[in-house]
Amino acid sequence: MIRLIFLAIGLVALGALVWHVGPSQIVDTIEHLGVGSISIILLPLLAVYLLEAYGWKLTLGRWADRVGFLRIFFIRTAGEAINASTPTGMVGGEPMKAYLLKQYDVPMIEGLASLVTAKTAMVLAQILFMLLGICLMVGILGGSDYNVLALAVGVGMLAFGLILLMMIQRHGIGMGLLTLLRKVRLPVRFLESREVQLMELDNTIREFYRERGGIFRFTIVIYFVAWVIETFEVYAILYFLGMDVTMVSAFSIAAISVLIKGAGFFIPGSLGAQEGGYLVLLLSFGYDEVTGITFALIRRMREILWILIGLLVLALLKEKTPLPSTTQLS
């Protein structure tokens, strides 16, 4: 319910931003983009999704060959559509990915473990990408008090996220969550009834780190390359909008955009918060309001396109594997 309230607030904020900048100016700017330009803008994100699917494939280990790369790509696309379009976030999308793997005889525990290790590699690569982007921003825009503050806040947030991630991994994501909920006295009957499975999940994850550390490090590299590819999307959008842009500034904007999107995690899809953050970011790089909000809306539209593709894929996958009940997700 709270996330739905934030979603409504985000919609209002987005509408206010568009109204402030001027809908007619935004439409005129977007209309100047031809089909060819839009196609080029969409290509980098396709490459990103393919690399991220490959990163997940690496963490699936021996089960990956049984599923096949294209199926992994489709299952990931479907799960990400749930993550991006519903208030459940990763609570809905990630278990659904693991459940859809079951049609290829991948055990639920193995599927969930591969998702946890893949997500960990993605987050570590993301942190490195954002740190580099923040440092580049200070180098491009100078060391003003505002930029130094932004650098300090950004590094602090990333450091906190990294420490939290390491603590979760150390104590086990399954039993760690159960222990935390018990300490704050929240009802945990669903998890308590699956304590054995949670322990098995934690052991499977630890075994992956212990026996396949090289694969894990290579997966981090794959995800880092995927994050860097977003630079080309930023560059393409600004270039086709007729703006002066360099690859260095595009890298910085892409990296800080990830930080902005993550900061609005409590709002489904970061709606409104993401657009407002992009607008402020591009203003700081010297672009005007129309360019800032148009940039944000183009990135939002390509997200919506991939959500629609993901939901279509999910509908096709559901024909083979009915949606699970609560008891089946174990």
**pLDDT tens digits for range 202-232:** 888 888 888 888 999 999 999 999 999 999 9
**Residue 18 domain-assigned?**
no
The SS3 of residue 142 is coil
Whether 42 shows a pLDDT value over 80: the answer reads yes
The total number of structural domains that make up the chain:
1
Rounded distance between C-alpha atoms, residue 287 and residue 5, angstroms: 32
pLDDT at 118: 93
**Residue 23 domain-assigned?**
no
pLDDT at 260: 84
* Tokens representing residue 66 in the block: 């049984």
Whether 174 shows a pLDDT value over 70: the answer reads no
Rounded distance between C-alpha atoms, residue 230 and residue 269, angstroms: 18
Mean pLDDT of 65-86: 89
312 versus 88: which is more confidently predicted? Answer: 312
- Per DSSP, helices labelled H in 172-266 are 173-183, 189-192, 195-211, 213-240, 247-263
Rounded distance between C-alpha atoms, residue 282 and residue 288, angstroms: 7
Whether 271 shows a pLDDT value over 60: the answer reads yes
**pLDDT tens digits for range 111-137:** 989 998 998 899 889 888 988 888 888
**Residue 122 domain-assigned?**
yes
Which range of residues forms the domain containing residue 68?
2-7+30-328
The chain-wide mean pLDDT, for the chain, equals 80
Whether 51 shows a pLDDT value over 90: the answer reads yes
Whether 269 shows a pLDDT value over 60: the answer reads yes
**Residue 14 domain-assigned?**
no
**Residue 79 domain-assigned?**
yes
**pLDDT tens digits for range 12-29:** 666 776 665 667 766 666
**Residue 113 domain-assigned?**
yes
**Residue 108 domain-assigned?**
yes
**Residue 21 domain-assigned?**
no
